[in-house]
């Protein structure tokens, strides 16, 4: 089994998969980080922006829908990652393992 892992690690397609998955993961993590960080910065330095009512005379302020958006965005981006992982990344992983196993049996 250890031999199989070494062969997979030596496969250039495996490293391409790692690069794709890593870039995509960091992109999504960066989006979430910037969103949360921006939200916190506004709360810290310009809270009056979130203190304004959504509609004049309404009790709900902009802080609530923006906060909900931040949470929903995180869930959606997680869904995007899971979808891509279950389609593209899993398919590439399966192809790499089959390719290496086929070379082992030949």
Q: State pLDDT tens for residues 54-86.
A: 999 999 999 999 999 999 999 999 999 999 999
Dihedrals phi, psi of 61, to nearest 5 degrees: -100, 170
Task: Look at residue 3 in the predicted model and tell me its pLDDT.
Answer: 84
- Sequence-separated (6 or more) residues with CB below 8 Å from residue 89: 17, 20, 21
Going from N- to C-terminal start, the domains of the chain cover: 2-105
Q: Is the pLDDT assigned to residue 43 strictly greater than 80?
A: yes
Q: Is the pLDDT assigned to residue 106 strictly greater than 80?
A: no
Q: What is the pLDDT of residues 17-40, one digit of tens each?
A: 999 999 999 999 999 999 999 999
Lowest mean pLDDT among 1-10, 11-20, 33-42, 47-56: 1-10
**Do residues 60 and 53 touch, judged by C-beta distance below 8 A?**
yes
């Amino acid at each position: 089994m250890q031999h199989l892992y070494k062969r997979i690690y030596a496969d250039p397609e495996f490293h391409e998969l790692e690069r794709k998955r890593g870039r995509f993961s960091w992109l999504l993590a960066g989006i979430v980080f910037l969103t949360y960080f921006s939200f916190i910065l506004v709360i810290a330095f310009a809270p009056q922006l979130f203190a304004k009512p959504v509609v004049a005379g309404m009790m709900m302020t902009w802080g609530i829908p923006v906060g909900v958006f931040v949470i929903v965005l995180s869930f959606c981006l997680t869904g995007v990652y899971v979808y891509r992982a279950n389609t593209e990344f899993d398919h590439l992983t399966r192809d790499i393992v089959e390719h290496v196993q086929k070379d082992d049996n030949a």
